[in-house]
Structure 1
Amino acid sequence: MRRFFDRLSTRLLLSHLAVAVVGAGAAFLVVRLLAPADFARRAGVGAGAGAGSVNAGRGRVLLAAFDAAINQALVIGLVAAVVVAALLAWLMVRRLLRPLDRVRTTTRALAGGDYATRVSVPRELELARLAEDINALGGALQESEARRVRLIGEVAHEMRTPLTVIDGYVEGMIDGVFTPTPARLTAVAEEARVLRRLAEDLSALSRAEEGRLSLAPTAVDLAALVAETAHRLRPQFDDARVHLALAPVPPLTVTVDPDRIGQVVTNLLGNALRACSPGDTVTLGVGVEAGQAVVTVQDTGCGIAPQDLSRVFERFYRVPATATGTRTGTGSGIGLTISRSIARAHGGDVVATSPGAGRGATFRLMLPRR
C-alpha cells in the first residue's frame, strides 16, 4: 500500500510537470514565431528598406538583439515555469494524498477489527464524500459487530435455563436423588424441545437477516389462510380460556408464500395468547387498506408500555412483566423479529400499537396485493 501511494504521488507530480512543460513549450513557440515579425512591423524594419542602407543595417541589429532577448527571456521563463510548476505540483500532491493516506489508515484499522475508528472529513468535496462513506461503513460495521456480540450473549442467556434444568434432572437421576419418573422425563423432554425450538428460530432469523429466506410465492386466499391458522391454534386458546374471534371476510387473493405467512400469523397469535389472561379476547381480522392486504391481531391483554413499544421487534426482547402485568407462556423472544423479517421479504411489514400497559395491543401484518 505504501508503494501504491508512492507511485501515485510520482504519477501525479509527473503529470503536473508534463502539463507545465507542454504549456511552456507552446508559449515558447508562439512567442518565438510571432514576436520578431510583429516587432519588425511595428518598428518599420523589414524587406522594404534598401539592402545596403544604414536603416537596414540598423534594423537587422535591432532584430538580432530582439531575437536574443526573446530567446533568453523565454528560456529563463520556461525554466522558472517548470520550477514553479514542480513546487506547486508537489504541494498539491501532498495536500491531495494526505487525506487519502488518512483514509488508507482508517480502512486498514476497520479491516483489523477497530470499528470505532473514523477519518476526519477534508475540505475537498470529492474527498469529503469518500471520507463520509468510509465513516458510514465504519458505523455499519460497528453496529453489526455490536449486534453479533449481543446476539451471542442473548443466545447464551436463552440456553442457560433449559440446560440448567436438564443438567439438574439428569444429574439427580444419575446420583439417585430421585427416580426417573414419567413426569421428570417429560420435564427434561420439554426443556429439550425449548432448545430445539430456539435452534430452529435462530436458523430462521439468520436466514431472514441475511436475505436468504427461500420464498415460494403463489396466489392464495389470505382470508382462508388466516382462518385455517386460527382453526389450528384454537385448542391452545381454549385451554388458556382466551376467546379467539375471527370475523368472516370475503376471499382476498394475494401472492405470497403461504407457509411463511402462516408462520407470521402463528407467531402473532401466539404472542397475543401469551399476553392474555383467562377471560381476555383476541380478535383476528383481514381487510384491505391503502391497496394493501392487512391481517390484524388485536388482544385485550396486558398491553405494551410506550417505552417498550419500539423494542418489541428486537431479538430476545420481552416486555417486562412489571410494566404490563402477567404474561402467560414462554417463547424464544425472536418470533416477532422473524415475523417482521418475513413480511419485509414479501415487500410488506409488521407494526405494533398499544394504548398502554394493561390496555391490550394490536399487531398488523401488511402485505402487497401483488
Structure 2
Amino acid sequence: MFHKLPLAQAGHKEISSFELNVFRSSLSSLSLCQVKGQCQKGIPASVRAKGWPLLCGAKDRKEKSQELYKRLVEAPDHQGWTDIIKRDTDRQFPFHEMFQSKDGHGQKDLLEVLKAYTQYRPDEGYCQAQGPVAAVLLMNMPAEEVFWCLAQISELYLPGYYSPLLEGVLFDAAVLSSVLKKQCPAAHKHLQNQGVEPLMFATDWLMCLYSRHLPFDTLLRVWDLFFCCGVRVLFQVAVVLVRRCLGEGRLRKECDGQMETLERLRGVKQRVQHEQVCSVSLSWADLQKQTEKELEKWKKERPNSTFDPRGRCHGYRMAWERAQDKQKEHEKKERPKGSLTLPLMRSHS
C-alpha cells in the first residue's frame, strides 16, 4: 500500500489523456526532447508510480529480477543493519500520516526497503541519507518499486553518494564550487570570503535530493526532471537556491559572517519553478568537461581511489541501458539456483 498524493497544485499544467497513456505504456517511441518536455510539464501524481520507475530503468530491473526483492527482505541480517535503520525510520517526515506510527505501513515499508538494500549491496550497507529518499518514493509507489528506484539512484544516477567513503558527494561538492563560480560569481566570491565550501551546506541537498529543503510539490517537480535528466538537475537546483540566498547584494550584506551564511543556506526552504531550473545554463557537455577537470585533481590528491563518476547516467535512455548491464552483473554473482550469497559478518569497509 502506498499513499496517493493529491493532484498537481493550482497553476500546474495537466498532461493530456494521450500523454498519460504514453507514460503508462512506454517512452521508448519518444525522443529525448519529447520526454523532457513531458517531465518539464510535470508528471501527474496518478502516473508517478509508473513514470519514475519507467524513466530510471527500475521497472525493467524489477521485471527481470523475479523474486529477488522478496528474498532480500526475508534474508537474515548478518550485518546488524536492521536495528540501526529502526532508529531512523520515525525521523523521516514525522508529520506525514504515512510515517506517524511505528506500527503503520509507512515505517514498516521504509524499514523493509532499506534493509533489503543492505542485503543487495552489503559493500555499501545503510546510509542515513537514503532514508528520506526512500520515504519520498514510498509516498508515490509500492515498496518493491521503491527498492528498485533506490537501487538505480544509488548505483547509476549517483554512484558513490551512499558508499562508506561518500566519494560521490565529496566529488560533486567540488564540481558544484566550479559551477557556482561560473553561474553566480558574486555569490561564489562571498562564499570564499566567508570560508564557506559547498560541502558545508550542499551535502544534505545533494545526498537527500533536496527532500528536506524544498516544499513538497516543488520537490516532486524537481524529481520529475532528475529521473529524466540525471545529476545535472541537482546542480541546477543548487544554483537557483544559492542565487535566492546570496544572489543580491543586500542578501550578502545580511550574511556578514560564516555562521550567518551557513544558516541561511542550510535553512533554505524555497519554491523553485521548473522554468528557473531549466534556465540555468548547464549542459551535460559542460558538466562532463568540469567532471574531467575535477577528476584530474581528485586522482592527484587520492592516488589510491578507484572512484570515477564519468559513467553515471545523464538521462533516462542511458539508465535503461545501464540497468540491463547491472542486471547481468548481479546474475553472475548469484548462486546457480538463484539463492543469495550473504555475508557472515558485518562489513567494515
TM-score bucket of the superposed structures, by smaller chain: under 0.3
* Bigger Rg, structure 1 or 2: 1
TM-score by length of 1: 0.22
Which of 1 and 2 has higher RCO (CA within 8 Å, sep 6+)? 2
